[in-house]
C-alpha cells in the first residue's frame, strides 16, 4: 500500500491509536548484556589514552531508507551501544588525568536519543514506525545501560561543557570498508566541526577495528546461532535441489529456513549459481533453472542478533557428482581441511609461507589436479581464503595481525573453471581457540559421500 494511503488511514484513527501504540513495548532482538557494551566503551576510552572526548552518531532513518527497508544501526555505533533505534548519539568523557594517578576511567557516558514524536503528521514518528524509547522515560537507563540518557537536543551543550576540560574529539573520520558510509561519515564530521571549530579531531577507526577482531563470549554465542540457523537452511536446500528447480526457489527456501529460526535478515544477498554461474563469485541474480549434470554453488547465510555467518556448499544438481566434479571437489575439500588443520593462534590468513593459511590452501590446489589443458589449478583459485565475520559478513580487520583466540573467520577455498562450467567452493566458519580452532559449521555435510547421502533423501 502506498505511503499516502497509509497516512490517510492512520490520521483517521490517530486519536485512538497513539495511546494504544505507546503502551506496546518495541520488539527487541537478542543481544549481549548491557555490561558487555559498557566494557567496550570503557576499553575504547582507555585505548584512546583519555586525552579527549568520544562523540559518535548512529544512523537516522535517512541513512537506511527506512521507508523501504527495516532499520539497521551503524555497526560501530551498535558495537559500542547495543542500541538499534534511529537518531541516537553518544558521548564518552574520560576523567581528567591526575598527577601520579594510574588508569583511565570514564567520567560520563551519555546516550542521546530523540524525544517522543507521536504527531499524526510526522512521517517517521511513532504512529508510523511504532513506539520508541524517549529520554524522559523512567526505564531509559535500565533499557540502554547508559547511566545518563538525554535528548539529542542537548548534545551541543553537553559537548561544549566537556570541551572545557579537553580539546580533542575522537570520532569516525574514515568509513568502514564496504559499508557505504562515506556520505554519513562526511556529514557527521561536518556537523561536529561546525559545533566545535577550534577542536582537534582524531580517528578511532583503527582502535575499534582491533577491538572488533576478537569476539566476546556473547558475540560468539550469537554467531553460533546464526551459523546453526544457516546450517538448517543448507540442509533444507539439499532436499530441494534437483533438475528443473529454479535457483531463486532454492534461495527463497533457504531464507525462509533461517529467518524462521530467528535470523533478522540475510547476512548478504543469497548466491545460488548453477552451471556456468557456479564460476561467478558474487552471482546473486539466482534466475536460472538448474540442469542435470551441473553443480550449484550455494553461498547463503543469515544474521542472528545482528551477527553474521557465511556458509557455502557445492552440490550436484542430479544428486550425484560426475567423476570430474568429484575430482575437483575433493581437491578443494582437502585444501580446506589443510587450512583448518593449520588454523591456530599465531597463524595468518593471507600469504605468509608456512604461517599463511591462504598459502597452505593455494599450494595444495596448485599441486593436485590439472585443467583440461594439463595446467595446474592454482590459477583458478582467484579470491582470498578467508575473512573475519561478526556484525558484518566482511568484518573490519587488520590482516597484518596474527590470529588470536576469540577471532571468528571463514575458510573458503574455491576453484572456478569457466571452460568446464565448473565452480566448486566450500566455506565454513571457524572460531580460533587457545591452541587450534573449532569449526562452527561442522554439522553440515562436507564430503562427497555425505552430500550425496543427504541429497538422496529428496
At 153 the three-state DSSP class reads: helix
Question: Are 188 and 225 members of one domain?
Answer: no
Question: Are 164 and 22 members of one domain?
Answer: yes
Cα dihedral 445, 451, 454, 456, rounded to 10, equals: 180
pLDDT of residue 208: 96
Could you tell me the strand order of the sheet in which 302-304 lies? Answer: 265-266, 302-304, 307-308
Question: Are 80 and 173 members of one domain?
Answer: yes
Report the distance separating Cα 180 and Cα 53, nearest Å: 26
Report the distance separating Cα 38 and Cα 45, nearest Å: 11
What is the domain-level CATH number for residue 422? 3.90.230.10
Question: Are 80 and 130 members of one domain?
Answer: yes
Question: Are 237 and 199 members of one domain?
Answer: no
Question: Are 142 and 266 members of one domain?
Answer: no
Report the distance separating Cα 387 and Cα 372, nearest Å: 31
Question: Are 171 and 198 members of one domain?
Answer: yes
β-pair type (414-417, 422-425): antiparallel
Contact 405, 412 (CB under 8 A): no
Cell representation of residue 13? 484513527
Report the distance separating Cα 269 and Cα 298, nearest Å: 11
Domain stop point among 192, 213, 234: 213
Contacts (Cβ under 8 Å, ≥6 apart) of 189: 171, 173, 201
Contacts (Cβ under 8 Å, ≥6 apart) of 235: 444, 454
Question: Are 360 and 294 members of one domain?
Answer: yes
Query: If you search the block for the grid coordinates 543427504, which residue do you land on?
Result: 454
pLDDT of residue 353: 67
Question: Within a 13 Å sphere around the CA of 434, how many CA atoms are in the beta-carbon half?
Answer: 0
Report the chain (458 residues): mean pLDDT per 10 consecutive residues: 35 32 48 97 96 95 76 94 96 78 85 90 75 95 97 96 95 86 89 92 96 98 98 98 98 98 97 98 96 98 98 98 98 98 95 84 97 98 97 96 97 98 98 98 98 88
Question: Are 209 and 230 members of one domain?
Answer: no
Alpha helices in 313-401 (DSSP H): 323-342, 357-366
Cell representation of residue 89? 548519539
Domain stop point among 162, 190, 213: 213
pLDDT of residue 175: 84
Question: Within a 13 Å sphere around the CA of 82, how many CA atoms are in the beta-carbon half?
Answer: 22
Buried b (16+ CB within 10 A) or exposed e, 283-303: bbebebebeeebbbbbbbbbb
Backbone angles phi, psi at 319, to 5 degrees: 100, -10
pLDDT of residue 73: 92
What is the domain-level CATH number for residue 23? 3.40.350.10
pLDDT of residue 458: 61
Record the pTM. 0.91
β-pair type (168-171, 53-57): parallel
Report the distance separating Cα 74 and Cα 303, nearest Å: 15
Number of other residues whose CB lies within 10 A of the CB of residue 111:
23
Sign of the CA dihedral 341, 342, 345, 348? Answer: negative
Report the distance separating Cα 417 and Cα 329, nearest Å: 12
Question: Are 185 and 265 members of one domain?
Answer: no
Report the distance separating Cα 379 and Cα 415, nearest Å: 8
Beta bridge partners of 416: 423
Buried b (16+ CB within 10 A) or exposed e, 360-379: bbbbbbbebbebeeeeebbe
Q: Which domain holds residue 259?
A: 217-455
Contacts (Cβ under 8 Å, ≥6 apart) of 270: 251, 254, 255, 284, 286, 298, 299, 300
Contact 371, 419 (CB under 8 A): yes
Domain stop point among 158, 183, 213: 213
Report the distance separating Cα 58 and Cα 68, nearest Å: 19
Domain total of the chain: 2
Question: Are 202 and 222 members of one domain?
Answer: no
Question: Are 256 and 346 members of one domain?
Answer: yes
Give the E-state strand segments of 95-236 in sequence order.
106-113, 148-151, 168-171, 200-203
Query: If you search the block for the grid coordinates 604461517, which residue do you land on?
Result: 355
Report the distance separating Cα 373 and Cα 376, nearest Å: 9
Amino acid at each position: 500500500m502506498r505511503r499516502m494511503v497509509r497516512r490517510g488511514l492512520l490520521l483517521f484513527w490517530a486519536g485512538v491509536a497513539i495511546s494504544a501504540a505507546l503502551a506496546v513495548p518495541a520488539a527487541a532482538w537478542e543481544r549481549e548484556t548491557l555490561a558487555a557494551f559498557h566494557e567496550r566503551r570503557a576499553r575504547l576510552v582507555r585505548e584512546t589514552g583519555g586525552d579527549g572526548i568520544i562523540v559518535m552518531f548512529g544512523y537516522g532513518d535517512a541513512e537506511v531508507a527506512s521507508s523501504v527497508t527495516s532499520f539497521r544501526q551503524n555497526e560501530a555505533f551498535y558495537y559500542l551501544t547495543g542500541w538499534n533505534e534511529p537518531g541516537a548519539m553518544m558521548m564518552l568523557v574520560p576523567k581528567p588525568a591526575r598527577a601520579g594517578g594510574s588508569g583511565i576511567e570514564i567520567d560520563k557516558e551519555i546516550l542521546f536519543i530523540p524525544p517522543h514524536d507521536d504527531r499524526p503528521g510526522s512521517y517517521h514518528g511513532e504512529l508510523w514506525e511504532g513506539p520508541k524509547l524517549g529520554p524522559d522515560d523512567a526505564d531509559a537507563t535500565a533499557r540502554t545501560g547508559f547511566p545518563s540518557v538525554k535528548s539529542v537536543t542537548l548534545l551541543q551543550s553537553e559537548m561544549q561543557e566537556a570541551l572545557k576540560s579537553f580539546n580533542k574529539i575522537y570520532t569516525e573520520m574514515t568509513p568502514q570498508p564496504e559499508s557505504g558510509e562515506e556520505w554519513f561519515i562526511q556529514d557527521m564530521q561536518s556537523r561536529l566541526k561546525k559545533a566545535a571549530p577550534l577542536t582537534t579531531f582524531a580517528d578511532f577507526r583503527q582502535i575499534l577495528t582491533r577491538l572488533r577482531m576478537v569476539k566476546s563470549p556473547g558475540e560468539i554465542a550469537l554467531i553460533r546461532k546464526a551459523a546453526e540457523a544457516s546450517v538448517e537452511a543448507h540442509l533444507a536446500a539439499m532436499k530441494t535441489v534437483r533438475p528443473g528447480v529454479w535457483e531463486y526457489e532454492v534461495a527463497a527456501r533457504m531464507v525462509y529456513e533461517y529467518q524462521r529460526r530467528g535470523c533478522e535478515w540475510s547476512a548478504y544477498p543469497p548466491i545460488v549459481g548453477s552451471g556456468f554461474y557456479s564460476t561467478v563469485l558474487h552471482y546473486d541474480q539466482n534466475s536460472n533453472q538448474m540442469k542435470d549434470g551441473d553443480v550449484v554453488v550455494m553461498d547463503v547465510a543469515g544474521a542472528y542478533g545482528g551477527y553474521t555467518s557465511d556458509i557455502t556448499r557445492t552440490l550436484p544438481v542430479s544428486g550425484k557428482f560426475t567423476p570430474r566434479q568429484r575430482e575437483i571437489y575433493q581437491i578443494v575439500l582437502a585444501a580446506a581441511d589443510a587450512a583448518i588443520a593449520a588454523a591456530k593462534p599465531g597463524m595468518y590468513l593471507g600469504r605468509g609461507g608456512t604461517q599463511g593459511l591462504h598459502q597452505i590452501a593455494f599450494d595444495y590446489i596448485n599441486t593436485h589436479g590439472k585443467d583440461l589443458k594439463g595446467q595446474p589449478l592454482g590459477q583458478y583459485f582467484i579470491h582470498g581464503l578467508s575473512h573475519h565475520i561478526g556484525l558484518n559478513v566482511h568484518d573490519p580487520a587488520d590482516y597484518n595481525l596474527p590470529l588470536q583466540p576469540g577471532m571468528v573467520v571463514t575458510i573458503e577455498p574455491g576453484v572456478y573453471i569457466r571452460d568446464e562450467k565448473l565452480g566448486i567452493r566450500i566455506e565454513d566458519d571457524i572460531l580460533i581457540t587457545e591452541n587450534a580452532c573449532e569449526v562452527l559449521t561442522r554439522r553440515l555435510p562436507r564430503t562427497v559421500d555425505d552430500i550425496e547421502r543427504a541429497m538422496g533423501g529428496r
